[in-house]
Amino acid sequence: MIVAEAKPLDEIKRLVADAEKILVVGCGTCVTVCFAGGAREAAVTASMLRMAGRLEGIERQVTDVTVQRQCDWEYVDPIADQVAAVDLVLSLGCGVGVQALVERFPDAWVVPGLNTKFMGVTLEQGVWAERCAGCGDCLLGLTGGICPIARCSKQLLNGPCGGSIDGHCEISAETPCAWQLIYDRLAGKGKLDALLEVQPPKDWRPARHGGPRQIVRDDLRLNEAEVGQPAEQEA
């Protein structure tokens, strides 16, 4: 899932400073699971903004709504009227959600309420960790299912570096060394041979270094007649 964290309230207050009517939009998917931007957080944020406004002597109208998935037109379209009725939308979706609202409602002013962190897992309640950096050309088949791009501090393909000690990375005792994990995993499976080969430099084009990414699947696209009108989001 995409893991995000609430922005500090002071920053949010600055972002919404000029608005009198605010709609807080939560998202029911990833950010609900990581307790950052679901229905509960949207309601709490809305009431905090109302309170903060009152303390500053501003009577603000703050309402909240949560959609199932803020990154899908299908789910955001139904809130079009609510969006049109306010001066500002505070999105508690991830960065994708924020931009989906901007693209779908170009007249609205949308600001982010979260800092989007990474794609990761919940290790235990209240602890999330990064697992994938979306490099576009997955290497997990070479490394026993442990990602050196997202989890090695230097993104080494021929690790571990000389900083690996007692299972952790040189950057801190709290950061597991991805290459120690890879080593242990391959050793456990009797596949250490895989580590002897020199891995060549990675092609980073699929990893955004070739420019912003987009996937087009002609097998899935609707033809113009079916679409009826050209879809806005097409490049």
The binding site for ligand SF4 (CB under 6 A) comprises 132-135, 138-140, 147, 149-150, 152-154, 156, 159-161, 163-164, 169-170, 177-179
SS3 category, 23: strand
Least separation in angstroms between CB 101 and other proteins: 28
Pairwise CA distance, residues 92 & 94, whole Å? 7
Do the beta carbons of residue 157 and residue 139 sit within 8 Å?
yes
Length of the chain: 235
CA 20/CA 58 separation, integer angstroms: 8
- Residues 143 and 117: their CA atoms lie apart, in Å, by 24
CB of 201 to ligand SF4, least distance (A): 15
- The smaller minimum CB distance to ligand SF4, of residues 82 and 199, is found at 199
Q: Which residues 99-158 are close enough to bind other proteins by CB under 8 A?
A: 153-158
| Element of type H or E holding 21 | strand 21-27
Q: Which does residue 134 touch among ligand SF4, other proteins, none (CB within 5 to 8 A, set by kind)?
A: ligand SF4
Pairing of strands 114-124, 2-6: antiparallel
Instruction: Tell me which of ligand SF4, other proteins, none is bound by residue 204, counting a contact when its beta carbon lies within the kind-specific cut-off of 5 to 8 angstroms.
Output: other proteins
Task: Pick between residue 12 and residue 182 the one whose CB is nearest to ligand SF4.
Answer: 182
For the CB of residue 136, give the shortest distance to ligand SF4 in the complex, in Å. Answer: 7
In angstroms, give the least distance from the CB of 77 to ligand SF4.
Answer: 31
SS3 17: coil
Structure tokens at 40: 């509960």
- Where along the sequence are the contacts to other proteins (CB under 8 A)? 153-167, 170-171, 177, 180, 183-184, 192, 195-196, 198-201, 204
